[in-house]
Amino acid sequence: MTRLILASTSPYRRELLQRLRVPFETVSPEVDESPLTGESPAQLVMRLAEAKARAGAGDFPGALVIGSDQVAVCGEEVLGKPGDHQRAARQLAKLAGRRVSFLTGLCLYDARTDAARVDLVPFHVHFRTLDASRIERYLQAERPYNCAGSFKSEGLGISLFERMEGDDPTALIGLPLIRLTTWLNEAGITLP
């Protein structure tokens, strides 16, 4: 069987890939994630997803390697990981009542043939109107300081949303399993 490699150290992506019940290994790809001049968020995540997959293939010449990258965008602003409580509170206050787009770049790189499939899988969330006390209660409960947008949709963060829109809810967490499953089946990894 072809080895499957996840070129990511994200625990969220690892948990998602485990849902497919196929054996895989993880590697930490060394990739400069700085945006290029004039590069749109969509172009950035697709480029980085492929770069991570190719970098992850370095020690696995016959493997299929998954790369993924994600940015959250509100209006024209790219949202980063807040890192601490105060930045998270400011970020959530800014997002209250607004639509946030999560753009996930996905790549499946076949090191056997040097072929890469790359695509963009968007997902959108509409935040409820949030007051300071609700934001504070949420942040104290979940502490999502390492998550772009300052929330964990797979946890209590779902309570902050009015609605969601998109074809693949796993894209919101950072690894679009519907698209990936199609590609894996086409690459010879049989999934139910």
Span 157-170, pLDDT tens digits: 999 999 999 999 99
* 0.85 exceeded by pTM: yes
167 as an active site residue: the answer is no
The tens digit of pLDDT for each residue in 73-83 reads 998 888 888 99
Structural domain contains residue 44: yes
pLDDT band at 65 (very low <50, low <70, confident <90, very high): very high
Structural domain contains residue 191: no
Eight-class DSSP state of 182 = H
Structural domain contains residue 192: no
Predicted pLDDT of residue 154: 83
Q: What is the CATH number of the domain that holds 119?
A: 3.90.950.10
Structural domain contains residue 133: yes
Among the options 69, 110, 114, 119, which is catalytic?
69
Structural domain contains residue 20: yes
pLDDT band at 44 (very low <50, low <70, confident <90, very high): very high
Structural domain contains residue 116: yes
Predicted pLDDT of residue 50: 98
Q: Is the pLDDT of residue 87 over 90?
A: yes
Predicted pLDDT of residue 148: 82
Q: Name residue 72's amino acid.
A: A
Q: Is the pLDDT of residue 190 over 90?
A: no
* Domain extent for 86: 4-186
Average pLDDT (10-23) is 94
> Would you call 10 exposed, middle or buried from its count of C-beta atoms within 10 A (0-12, 13-18, 19+)?
middle
Q: Which has more pLDDT, 40 or 154? A: 40
Helix (H) or strand (E) run with residue 45 in it: helix 41-56
Q: Is the pLDDT of residue 1 over 80?
A: no
Structural domain contains residue 74: yes
The tens digit of pLDDT for each residue in 112-128 reads 999 999 999 999 999 99
Structural domain contains residue 106: yes
State the total domains in the chain.
Answer: 1
Q: Cα torsion for 35, 174, 97, 83, to the nearest 10°?
A: -70
